[in-house]
Amino acid sequence: MDSGVRTVPYDSAVGSRSFGSPVSTSISGGVLNLSPGKWYKVDTEGGAATDNIDTINGLSAGDSVWLSCVSDSRTPTVRTGQGNIVLPAGNIVLNSVNKMCKLFHNGTNIVEASSRP
């Protein structure tokens, strides 16, 4: 009799399901250079009050990352339609250390996988 319970095997191509401790990074000219499978605390360029993320480099099809801001006083905005980022629900403003978004490379663009207020 089938119990209905399914297990998901560990996939070494995907790697750990934990994103681990955050890694600090800064925007440079509207660009973030990231590695897949990490949680990034994003700082604005030069510590500015606000800054825009227009392009994310370093991800390939199937890769994902979590983003949050490094400080409530420095707000990065993930902008849609500027570089390789497409967000059907509009820009994501990371204006609190408690606000995060998960982004996913769909093979063509960086898209929103999930976010929370």
CATH number of the domain to which 42 belongs:
2.60.120
DSSP string, 29-82: TTEEE--TT-EEEEE-GGG-SEEEE-EEES--TT-EEEEEESBTTBEEEE-TTS
44-61 pLDDT, tens digit per residue, is: 999 999 999 999 999 999
Q: Tell me what pLDDT residue 115 has.
A: 60
Domain count, the chain: 1
Q: Is residue 85 part of a domain?
A: yes
Q: Is residue 15 part of a domain?
A: no
81-98 pLDDT, tens digit per residue, is: 999 999 988 999 999 999
Q: What is the pTM of this model?
A: 0.82
Higher pLDDT pick, 3 / 60: 60
Q: Is residue 4 part of a domain?
A: no
- Residue 56: give the domain boundaries: 23-116
**What's the whole-number mean pLDDT along residues 55-76?**
96
